[in-house]
Amino acid sequence: MAAPAPIVSQTALSMMSTALVLAGEKPLNSITDPRYGAQVVASLFDMVYENELQNNPWRFSCKKGQLSRINQQPINEWKYAWQIPTDCLSMVGFWGVGPDRLYEIYGNVIYTNISSNPGVAAATLTAEYQFKPDPSTLPSYFSLLVTCALAKHICKPITESDSARTKCEQAYEVQRGRAMFADARQRPNRPLQHKPFIQCR
């Protein structure tokens, strides 16, 4: 008995299909398509998708959450251990780690030295981190970026053409710039707060 086909959202299927078209192949109608190109793009999708997410702190893939403190005493210089959320792809930043702003990540645990000031509670640590959104919720600029990234990776195995791969790489770089510009508008520019010349007076 054949293994059941993996469940793939219509949006993911659309991105894989368009990537095949950009690489010079026929569109993908089903995840069970037996063609070599279809198998290549299906095997690479999750890896390419997560890689593109982690290459930049995209605003649509970021959220904040309060971390849970682990009841264990870290060794060496650290005082507190915190559990990284299970849906975390990568950390962006922290609030409450103390004036030194130092921390280290070991596996799925964060070690910190929270301020020893009596007025600062040692039981709270808020983190901003990236998660993996469902493909159906992606903004169009990122869907196209993932599509171009897929085409870039599958072009050479399918076409065996260096020139075709170069064109796919160029299209990817153009779309990456556009996507980063569009995403940057989701957060306004913040003025610099560092004033070394004023502070040294």
| Tens digits of residue pLDDT in 4-51 | 444 456 789 999 999 999 999 999 888 889 999 999 999 999 999 999
DSSP conformational letter for 59: G
DSSP conformational letter for 93: E
What pLDDT score was predicted for residue 193?
54
| Tens digits of residue pLDDT in 94-116 | 876 655 567 889 889 998 876 44
Q: Which helix (H) or strand (E) holds 104?
A: strand 103-106
First to last CA, the chain: 79
Sheet with strand 62-66: strands edge to edge: 62-66, 126-130, 90-95
* Rounded mean pLDDT, 52-77: 90
**Assessment of whether the complete model's pTM goes beyond 0.85:** no
